[in-house]
């Protein structure tokens, strides 16, 4: 059930959207001026100030991104994004989360990432999903439980991964429609997106997508299979046609970094309709892992500079899951900003950390957040004073070993269970090589 405060916020936002829709870029500064009277938190005030300044500058890349938002997205998506993401998952949700952190003395995340299924129609080189329990899926009742128990804690952002979430199109659309006050984002390989599915997403409005693409056709198909790249490009065309919010999700590794970090690549993604882009670096998880795909320190530094360059100049909001640790004070996992629930229901601190003490089928969400491994995360975060070395697996493997051992967490990989010692042995050398580069970057003046 929605709180009164949230119902009021939604009603106000509906009126705001009606006013905004007449002439978005002309009316936006006035609305931001009004909002500034009611916003208390410094982070939100800073964001409002940034948007207000951008709205007055047609050459500003944020202005150009806002123009794309209002001109390219359908009206239902615009409205749901502003209400569900900006207000419910943002301003309203944030205040509820802060209260619950104090009440329960544990981390409470901004978003929950969960896997509707471990099944996937592709078998990508180096992907752990193929050995992560392919036959497993969360019952709809379990997915509903996650959202139902998340909202009272202040969580209104839900992210789907897998496996391939669109294997279960009907269930994920039903979940979004039955929780119209939440925002949903699905990571997807894009190959199952068609006109019928896009029409339903357009109608519902509170669903966005991050499509996996790893460079040009040759580089994408190298890991994902022949013909995949063209199917992803077709999926982007369909989503753009229906005015649906989407972006790209790109794993950079030793074989593709020069391409995916290039200006030509980001320009193509913008041309195809992407409003955001999310970069991840390759992590060698599972028995089919390919350690040779780990990005070198030089490649990771290259991506560090490129993402900042793109954010300053391109009308597309670009993130780097690891290299942007400096903007969020280190690691965001372990419930600090997000957590992961796999297709078996195991509650894990991160999509890349496959260890757990509890299963969501057996415990309430708040109990999972207070489980031993999550409390270890809370006790150790941040894992490094240098937030360009945020990750307990990739950058500080000795800390991950300690946390898993102290908590007694078990491996959640079903067909290729590996101990934390075996896992971190594959990242130790990369951590050692990255450390001096990260320390040099960290010592440079911050913007």
How would DSSP label each residue in 7-75? Answer: HHHHHHHHHHHHHHHHSHHHHHHHHHHHHHTT--SHHHHHHHHHHHHHHT-TTSHHHHHHHHHHHHS-H
Rounded distance between C-alpha atoms, residue 281 and residue 251, angstroms: 5
Instruction: Considering only residues 430 and 134, tell me which one the structure prediction assigns the higher pLDDT.
Output: 430
How many CA atoms lie within 13 Å of 374's alpha carbon, on the beta-carbon side? 30
The residues spanned by each domain of the chain are 4-86, 105-446
Please choose, from the candidates 348, 444, 399, 342, the residue with its C-alpha nearest in 3D space to the C-alpha of residue 391: 399
Question: pLDDT per residue over 53-110, tens digit each?
Answer: 888 888 888 899 999 999 999 999 999 998 899 889 988 899 999 999 999 999 999 9
Q: Element (H or E) spanning 427, and its range?
A: none
Q: What top-level class would CATH report for the domain 105-446?
A: alpha beta
The pair of structure tokens assigned to 180 is 């119209």
Full-prediction pTM beyond 0.85? yes
The pair of structure tokens assigned to 159 is 């992210």
Alpha helices of 314-427 — where are they, by DSSP H? 365-369, 372-380, 397-407, 420-425
Q: What proportion of the chain, given as a percentage, has pLDDT over 90?
A: 70
Query: What is the predicted pLDDT for the residue at 414?
Result: 76
How would DSSP label each residue in 205-262? Answer: --EEEEEE--SSHHHHHHHH-TTHHHHHHHHHHHHHHTT--EEEEEEE-TTTHHHHTS
User: What's phi and psi for 198, nearest 5 deg?
Assistant: -60, -35
pLDDT beyond 70 at 411: yes
Per the rule left: phi > 0, alpha: psi between -120 and 50, beta: everything else, 112 is: beta
Instruction: Considering only residues 34 and 387, tell me which one the structure prediction assigns the higher pLDDT.
Output: 387
How big is the chain, counted in residues? 447
Query: What is the predicted pLDDT for the residue at 54?
Result: 81
**pLDDT range class, residue 9, cuts 50, 70, 90:** low
Query: What is the predicted pLDDT for the residue at 212?
Result: 93
Rounded distance between C-alpha atoms, residue 447 and residue 318, angstroms: 17
Question: pLDDT per residue over 267-281, tens digit each?
Answer: 999 999 999 999 999
Question: pLDDT per residue over 190-242, tens digit each?
Answer: 999 999 999 999 999 999 999 999 888 888 877 777 888 999 999 999 999 99
Question: pLDDT per residue over 303-332, tens digit each?
Answer: 999 999 999 999 999 999 999 999 999 999
Question: Is-cis flag, bond preceding 184, omega within 30?
Answer: no
Query: What is the predicted pLDDT for the residue at 10?
Result: 60
pLDDT beyond 90 at 162: no
pLDDT beyond 90 at 403: yes
């Amino acid at each position: 059930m929605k709180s009164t405060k949230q119902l009021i916020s939604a009603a106000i936002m509906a009126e705001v959207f009606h006013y905004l829709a007449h002439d978005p870029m002309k009316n936006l500064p006035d609305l931001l001026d009004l909002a500034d009277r009611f916003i208390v938190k410094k982070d939100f005030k800073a964001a409002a100030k940034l948007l207000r300044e951008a709205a007055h500058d047609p050459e500003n890349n944020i202005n150009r991104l806002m123009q794309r938002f209002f001109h390219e997205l359908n009206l239902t998506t615009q409205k749901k994004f502003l209400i569900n993401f900006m207000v419910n998952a943002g301003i309203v949700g944030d205040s509820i989360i802060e209260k619950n952190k104090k009440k329960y003395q544990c981390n409470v995340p901004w978003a929950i990432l969960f896997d509707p299924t471990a099944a996937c129609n592709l078998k990508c080189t180096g992907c752990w999903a193929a050995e992560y329990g392919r036959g497993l899926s969360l019952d709809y009742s379990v997915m509903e439980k996650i959202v139902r128990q998340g909202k009272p804690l202040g969580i209104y952002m839900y992210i789907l991964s897998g496996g391939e979430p669109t294997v279960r199109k009907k269930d994920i659309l039903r979940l979004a429609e039955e929780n119209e006050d939440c925002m949903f984002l699905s990571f997807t390989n894009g190959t199952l997106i068609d006109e019928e599915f896009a029409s339903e997403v357009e109608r519902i409005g509170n669903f966005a997508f991050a499509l996996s693409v790893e460079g040009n056709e040759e580089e994408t198909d190298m890991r994902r299979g022949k013909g995949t790249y063209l199917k992803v490009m077709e999926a982007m065309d369909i989503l753009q046609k229906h005015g649906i919010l989407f972006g790209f999700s790109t794993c950079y590794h030793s074989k593709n970094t020069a391409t995916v970090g290039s200006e030509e690549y980001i320009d193509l993604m913008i041309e195809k309709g992407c409003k955001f882009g999310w970069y991840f670096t390759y992590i060698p998880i599972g028995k089919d892992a390919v350690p040779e795909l780990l990005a070198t320190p030089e490649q990771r530094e290259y991506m560090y500079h490129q993402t900042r360059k793109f954010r300053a100049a391109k009308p597309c909001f670009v993130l780097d899951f690891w290299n942007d640790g400096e903007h969020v004070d280190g690691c965001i996992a372990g419930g600090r900003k997000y957590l992961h629930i796999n297709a078996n229901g195991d509650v894990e601190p991160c999509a890349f950390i496959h260890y757990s003490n509890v299963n969501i089928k057996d415990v309430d969400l708040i109990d999972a957040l207070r489980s031993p491994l999550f409390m270890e995360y809370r006790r150790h975060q941040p894992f490094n004073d240098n937030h360009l070395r945020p990750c307990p697996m990739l950058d500080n493997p000795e800390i991950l070993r300690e946390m898993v051992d102290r908590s007694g967490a078990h491996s959640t990989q079903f067909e290729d269970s590996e101990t934390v010692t075996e896992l971190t042995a594959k990242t130790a050398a990369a951590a050692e090589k990255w450390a001096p580069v990260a320390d040099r970057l960290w010592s440079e003046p911050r913007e």
